[in-house]
Structure 1
């Protein structure tokens, strides 16, 4: 007799609490092998394939493309046993001892080397026919993908799965035309119980109708905040809510910096970008002003100075804004910074950045000049303490050596957490960066 095992959504990287289903890689009734990817999920950091630690027959999938699932919520159920295929022996963990699961869930990438996908469907049979009784193996808590829609047929993708595990409760609500999204469950962790539905049916006037688009703005288009867009919104909102930030800025003559870059590119094999030069300047300036490479521990009322510079740089992609991280940037040469930036930028463009390459930053460099704008007031990438913004480099009239001349000018803006330092530290950092831009030789003295 098949035994049903439930695979819940694991943490996909550094404490991420939820992920959005991009597409399913298996169907209900399909045989899967241990460690075979079953779904493609989009987190706030990247799109990853999630492998299942059990081998057997998929009996239920929880959610549809576009649905957001919290970590720890059911993802799929798999019937394992005499009739289920398994291509790998048990390797400990949840599947240890039964030969059906690895239990080796790794953060971000799955449970091990994924086996080849063998897509075979198994027809449901009766318990006495010798095959797996797929229909009977579905547990009471398993919900078919269509059950994650609201009872009145509307898409529930905006709100995520309804907190109901009982098919009886869902059927009762459906038969009475009750929208489960409008109920507050009395069960554990807000679970909607049968008694909750019965009370709502008995007193429908107490359940307020949710406001629709026509109640507020006629003809307005509503776009759900999902995936990266939602993650960016949450992070920026938290930054403005928690961090007392301040911004200062300065115009700098970047003519000599561009000349130095041209000389480096003429003599070297690796093309050096302006952003790579600025990254090298930033690491030198942070060595002089370490308070800015820190974060605030509010629970312990401490400023935590970080020993390494993990430099993030903002990159705009088709999927939205991402911030790849140059780990240990303080140990890299300008050439090494340029090479790693190029690699991460390409990975961001193709959507192949891993969660590890998108987390753990300690300071962010934001080149909004690529959008053709001169200045901005950056919002700090929480929980970091500062961000340097760089506008476009453009020809402007400038006083040089006592005479008016046309020079290549850039505006640098610096936003900092006023809890970690005062204006003197922030001004000193920004002035050092500007001096290195105007006279690259100053960088040698700053190291």
Structure 2
């Protein structure tokens, strides 16, 4: 006798309380294995796949793509031990569950190939209570299951493209994809939107709002909402200050060119800056810390988990390089490249985005010289690096054209005074101007 188990959206950790359904990976009637991913969701931190701890036949799905669900809301129901097309029962061990339902940490088993089941389908379970699943004639659509389940998903190149269409109220089924086998690309959606009015423009202002007609309303949710909340909290809680200095980066650029000319993996500039950061934090540990308001204590860390700002289509994210202080330039280059690629593809996990102790912000990639950024709460400081450009500079007593960069340090004034912050920034500038200074810490 089959048992119907309800799988709910699991606790996502890191204070996350909700997630948006991006893409269903299974349909009603599919056979799923223990720990097989069944849905792709977007949290405020990452795009991740959620594995189901039960093995059996999917009897119902709850929520359409684009729906936001709170933690604990039903995702799917699975008939455990249900016969598949007259064959043997699905192994009942799925009733125990694997327990591997933490988002973003993978699964213990490879997902089995999905197969459709055309036998009788049980009704969706009404609660978590395990109950016998009565057989019922097949219906066009089960209660609680969107009609899309039988039609199948639209082939789209990425969840980001699907999200773009959804936020502008564009029906993907009306588009003809220009990609291979009709795959819908971002360009297809953007071309369609040029002749359409976005949903936000057509929305009426809420009661009491003074927004003029035709203005655009963009919901603060997902990554953008999380960034807004964190920046607001940082501004409320952290009394920050900023100091900055210009530095001659000519010798650093030459050193990097020499490294890359000697063969082996290429060393990135951001990796060298990260190496300088970790050396500076070893000298000024006050800036590698956080403030515990409840205990009224400054907590200094003995490790450097280095965050770096990365701009993506989903918004600004801050991936974290774990134990950056223990990595050499090659290791830092490889890890920066891995995290950057994952950020652009929307594959960062919550573990990749949390636990930072200090942030490196290379805003020079945007073509700007300086900035006074907001500290990435709950950290205590952030080093900013502007663009490196040729400028007139007095070098060895003579005017010359040198590669100059502006460095800034925004710091929590509760963890240190200006002397410490200035000492840190001056040491960073010295390492940029004379990379040999780093030899002391190697």
Q: TM-score, structure 1 length as denominator? A: 0.76
* Residue 7, structure 1, aligned to residue 7, structure 2: yes
Indicate the residue corresponding to 1:291 in structure 2: 286
* Structure 1 residues 319 and 125: alpha-carbon distance in aligned structure 2, compared to 1, 3 A threshold: closer
**C-alpha contact (below 8 Å) 1:18/1:68 kept by paired residues:** yes
What's the counterpart of residue 406 of structure 2? 411
Alignment correspondent of 1:167: none
2: CA distance, partners of 1:342 / 1:69: 33
Give the conservation status (yes or no) of the 8 Å contact 1:60–1:145. Answer: no
Distance 2:426 2:436 in 1: 15
Taking the aligned partners of 1:235 and 1:214, their CA distance within structure 2 comes to 25
Alignment check: 8 A CA contact 1:2 1:133 kept? no
1:109 pairs with 2:105: yes
Quick check: 1:272 aligned with 2:275? no
The yes-or-no answer on 1:433 pairing with 2:433 is no
Shift of 1:134: 5.7
Match of 1:218 among 213, 220, 232: 213
Aligned to 1:153: none
CA distance change for structure 1 residues 125 and 37 in 2, over 3 Å: closer, same or farther? closer
The aligned residue for residue 172 of structure 2 is none
RMSD: 3.0
Shift of residue 110 of structure 1?
5.1
Q: List alignment gaps of at least 5 residues for structure 1.
A: 137-141, 147-156, 159-208
The equivalent residue for 1:74 is 74
Matched, 1:120 2:127: no
> What are the Cα deviations for residues 366-409 of structure 1, in whole angstroms up to 9, with x where unaligned?
11101111111111111111111100001111122222221111
Relative to structure 1, the CA distance from residue 332 to residue 110 in structure 2 (aligned partners, 3 Å threshold; closer, same or farther) is closer
Which of 393, 396, 404 does residue 391 from structure 2 map onto? 396
Q: Using the alignment, how far apart are the partners of 1:23 and 1:105 within structure 2? A: 17
Give deviations 1:212-258, integer Å, cap 9, x for gaps: 69863210122223322222222222222222211111111111111
CA contact (8 A) 1:82 1:132 kept: no
Alignment of 1:195-210 (within 5 A): none
SS in 1 for 2:265: coil
Distance (whole Å) between structure 2 residues aligned to residue 284 and residue 42 of structure 1: 36
Give the counterpart of 2:93 among 87, 90, 93.
Answer: 90
- Sort the Cα spacing of 1:134 and 1:74 in 2 relative to 1 into closer, same or farther, 3 A: farther
Deviation of 1:440 (Å): 1.2
Alpha-carbon distance between aligned partners in 2 of 1:235 and 1:111, rounded to the nearest angstrom: 30
Q: Given that residues 205 and 211 in structure 2 are in contact (C-alpha distance below 8 angstroms), is that contact kept between their aligned partners in structure 1?
A: no
Contact 1:90 1:102 in 2 (8 A): no
Structure 1 residues 320, 87: CA separation in 2 closer, same or farther (over 3 Å shift)? farther
Quote the Cα distance in structure 2 between the aligned partners of 1:8 and 1:54. 11
- Matching of residue 238 in structure 1 with residue 241 in structure 2: no
1:64 counterpart = 2:64? yes
